[in-house]
Amino acid sequence: MSEFGRGCDVRELILTRHAKSDWGDPELPDHDRPLNARGLRDAPAMADRLAATGVEVQRILSSTAVRARSTAAVFGAALGVEVELDEELYLASAAKLLTAAAGSDAGTVMVVAHDPGISDLASTLSDGGITHMPTCAVARFTWQVDAWDEAVTRPADTWGLATPR
Protein backbone atom coordinates (compact mmCIF):
# COMPACT_ATOMS: atom_id res chain seq x y z
CA MET A 1 0.00 0.00 0.00
CA SER A 2 1.40 3.36 -0.99
CA GLU A 3 1.38 6.43 1.22
CA PHE A 4 -1.51 7.73 -0.87
CA GLY A 5 -3.71 4.72 -0.19
CA ARG A 6 -4.60 1.71 -2.23
CA GLY A 7 -4.12 2.11 -5.97
CA CYS A 8 -6.34 0.62 -8.60
CA ASP A 9 -5.72 -2.79 -9.99
CA VAL A 10 -5.21 -3.31 -13.69
CA ARG A 11 -7.56 -5.24 -15.95
CA GLU A 12 -6.19 -6.33 -19.31
CA LEU A 13 -8.08 -7.83 -22.22
CA ILE A 14 -6.16 -9.39 -25.09
CA LEU A 15 -8.19 -9.99 -28.24
CA THR A 16 -6.79 -12.37 -30.84
CA ARG A 17 -8.41 -13.10 -34.14
CA HIS A 18 -7.83 -16.70 -35.20
CA ALA A 19 -4.97 -17.32 -37.63
CA LYS A 20 -5.60 -17.72 -41.37
CA SER A 21 -7.81 -20.70 -42.16
CA ASP A 22 -7.86 -23.17 -45.02
CA TRP A 23 -10.66 -22.80 -47.57
CA GLY A 24 -9.40 -25.69 -49.74
CA ASP A 25 -12.29 -28.08 -49.03
CA PRO A 26 -15.62 -26.48 -50.03
CA GLU A 27 -17.50 -29.39 -48.43
CA LEU A 28 -16.02 -28.75 -44.99
CA PRO A 29 -18.39 -26.94 -42.59
CA ASP A 30 -17.19 -23.47 -41.56
CA HIS A 31 -16.77 -24.55 -37.94
CA ASP A 32 -14.36 -27.32 -38.97
CA ARG A 33 -11.93 -25.36 -41.17
CA PRO A 34 -8.31 -25.86 -40.02
CA LEU A 35 -5.44 -23.39 -40.23
CA ASN A 36 -3.66 -23.06 -43.57
CA ALA A 37 0.11 -22.86 -44.02
CA ARG A 38 0.18 -19.11 -43.29
CA GLY A 39 -1.93 -19.63 -40.17
CA LEU A 40 0.37 -22.39 -38.98
CA ARG A 41 3.32 -19.99 -39.44
CA ASP A 42 1.70 -16.85 -38.00
CA ALA A 43 0.18 -18.31 -34.82
CA PRO A 44 3.49 -19.43 -33.24
CA ALA A 45 5.23 -16.21 -34.32
CA MET A 46 2.55 -14.02 -32.77
CA ALA A 47 2.34 -16.18 -29.64
CA ASP A 48 6.09 -15.88 -29.17
CA ARG A 49 5.92 -12.09 -29.67
CA LEU A 50 3.22 -11.81 -27.03
CA ALA A 51 5.03 -14.12 -24.60
CA ALA A 52 8.21 -12.05 -25.03
CA THR A 53 6.40 -9.03 -23.55
CA GLY A 54 6.20 -10.82 -20.21
CA VAL A 55 2.42 -10.60 -20.04
CA GLU A 56 0.87 -12.87 -17.42
CA VAL A 57 -2.39 -14.15 -18.87
CA GLN A 58 -4.58 -15.95 -16.32
CA ARG A 59 -7.32 -17.17 -18.69
CA ILE A 60 -7.59 -17.91 -22.40
CA LEU A 61 -11.13 -18.23 -23.73
CA SER A 62 -11.61 -19.56 -27.26
CA SER A 63 -14.31 -20.29 -29.76
CA THR A 64 -14.77 -24.00 -30.42
CA ALA A 65 -14.15 -23.59 -34.17
CA VAL A 66 -11.10 -25.58 -35.26
CA ARG A 67 -9.23 -22.51 -36.54
CA ALA A 68 -9.81 -20.59 -33.28
CA ARG A 69 -9.04 -23.42 -30.90
CA SER A 70 -5.89 -24.29 -32.89
CA THR A 71 -4.74 -20.67 -32.64
CA ALA A 72 -5.61 -20.55 -28.94
CA ALA A 73 -3.69 -23.78 -28.29
CA VAL A 74 -0.52 -22.25 -29.73
CA PHE A 75 -0.92 -19.14 -27.54
CA GLY A 76 -1.75 -21.28 -24.51
CA ALA A 77 1.43 -23.31 -24.97
CA ALA A 78 3.56 -20.17 -25.36
CA LEU A 79 2.00 -18.50 -22.32
CA GLY A 80 1.67 -21.58 -20.12
CA VAL A 81 -2.11 -21.22 -19.82
CA GLU A 82 -4.79 -23.85 -20.39
CA VAL A 83 -7.37 -22.89 -23.02
CA GLU A 84 -11.05 -22.83 -22.08
CA LEU A 85 -13.36 -23.56 -25.02
CA ASP A 86 -16.72 -21.77 -25.20
CA GLU A 87 -19.11 -22.67 -28.00
CA GLU A 88 -20.89 -19.33 -27.55
CA LEU A 89 -17.77 -17.51 -28.80
CA TYR A 90 -18.16 -19.03 -32.29
CA LEU A 91 -19.09 -16.04 -34.49
CA ALA A 92 -20.06 -14.11 -31.34
CA SER A 93 -20.97 -10.44 -31.32
CA ALA A 94 -18.74 -7.84 -29.70
CA ALA A 95 -21.13 -7.68 -26.73
CA LYS A 96 -20.99 -11.45 -26.19
CA LEU A 97 -17.18 -11.47 -26.42
CA LEU A 98 -16.94 -8.68 -23.85
CA THR A 99 -19.41 -10.38 -21.53
CA ALA A 100 -17.40 -13.61 -21.66
CA ALA A 101 -14.16 -11.79 -20.80
CA ALA A 102 -15.70 -9.66 -18.08
CA GLY A 103 -17.25 -12.69 -16.42
CA SER A 104 -13.84 -13.59 -15.04
CA ASP A 105 -12.10 -12.72 -11.82
CA ALA A 106 -8.77 -12.91 -13.66
CA GLY A 107 -6.83 -9.70 -14.12
CA THR A 108 -5.66 -10.56 -17.64
CA VAL A 109 -7.92 -12.44 -20.04
CA MET A 110 -7.31 -13.43 -23.65
CA VAL A 111 -10.18 -14.11 -26.06
CA VAL A 112 -9.58 -15.91 -29.35
CA ALA A 113 -12.49 -15.51 -31.74
CA HIS A 114 -13.79 -14.37 -35.13
CA ASP A 115 -14.76 -11.40 -37.21
CA PRO A 116 -16.83 -9.33 -37.32
CA GLY A 117 -17.29 -9.50 -33.54
CA ILE A 118 -13.61 -9.27 -32.64
CA SER A 119 -12.99 -6.25 -34.90
CA ASP A 120 -16.16 -4.57 -33.63
CA LEU A 121 -15.05 -5.02 -30.02
CA ALA A 122 -11.50 -3.84 -30.76
CA SER A 123 -12.93 -0.73 -32.42
CA THR A 124 -15.17 0.02 -29.44
CA LEU A 125 -12.44 -0.51 -26.84
CA SER A 126 -9.93 1.59 -28.80
CA ASP A 127 -12.53 4.34 -29.35
CA GLY A 128 -12.31 3.77 -33.11
CA GLY A 129 -8.53 3.50 -33.24
CA ILE A 130 -8.64 -0.09 -34.44
CA THR A 131 -10.91 -0.51 -37.42
CA HIS A 132 -10.06 -4.08 -38.42
CA MET A 133 -8.36 -7.08 -36.83
CA PRO A 134 -6.51 -9.06 -39.53
CA THR A 135 -6.10 -12.79 -39.03
CA CYS A 136 -3.82 -13.58 -36.09
CA ALA A 137 -3.76 -9.95 -34.96
CA VAL A 138 -3.37 -9.35 -31.22
CA ALA A 139 -4.90 -6.28 -29.58
CA ARG A 140 -4.21 -5.43 -25.94
CA PHE A 141 -6.45 -3.19 -23.82
CA THR A 142 -5.81 -2.08 -20.25
CA TRP A 143 -7.85 -0.25 -17.67
CA GLN A 144 -6.74 1.08 -14.28
CA VAL A 145 -9.78 -0.28 -12.43
CA ASP A 146 -10.51 -2.69 -9.60
CA ALA A 147 -13.13 -4.79 -11.40
CA TRP A 148 -14.21 -5.80 -14.89
CA ASP A 149 -17.63 -4.19 -14.50
CA GLU A 150 -15.85 -0.82 -14.31
CA ALA A 151 -13.71 -1.57 -17.38
CA VAL A 152 -16.44 -2.69 -19.75
CA THR A 153 -18.37 0.56 -19.56
CA ARG A 154 -15.77 2.62 -21.45
CA PRO A 155 -12.90 2.50 -23.92
CA ALA A 156 -9.58 1.23 -22.57
CA ASP A 157 -7.11 3.56 -20.89
CA THR A 158 -4.36 2.20 -23.16
CA TRP A 159 -4.37 -0.10 -26.13
CA GLY A 160 -2.08 -1.52 -28.79
CA LEU A 161 -2.31 -3.66 -31.89
CA ALA A 162 0.21 -6.14 -33.31
CA THR A 163 -0.22 -7.91 -36.63
CA PRO A 164 1.72 -10.74 -38.27
CA ARG A 165 3.08 -8.43 -40.97
Sign for the CA dihedral angle at 119, 127, 88, 84 comes to: positive
Q: Would you call 69 helix, strand, or coil by DSSP?
A: helix
Is residue 36 scored above 60 in pLDDT? yes
Q: Which residue has the higher pLDDT, 146 or 116?
A: 116
Task: Taking residues 22-38, report their average pLDDT.
Answer: 95
| Mean predicted confidence (pLDDT) in 89-116 | 95
- Asked whether residue 105 carries a pLDDT value surpassing 70, the answer given is yes
Distance CA 2, CA 139 (A): 31
Share above pLDDT 90 across residues of the chain, in percent, rounded to a whole number: 87
The answer, yes or no, to whether residue 108 has pLDDT greater than 80, is yes
Q: How confident is the model at residue 1 (pLDDT cuts 50, 70, 90)?
A: very low
Rounded to the nearest integer, the mean pLDDT of the chain is 93
Q: Residue 4: is its pLDDT beyond 90?
A: no
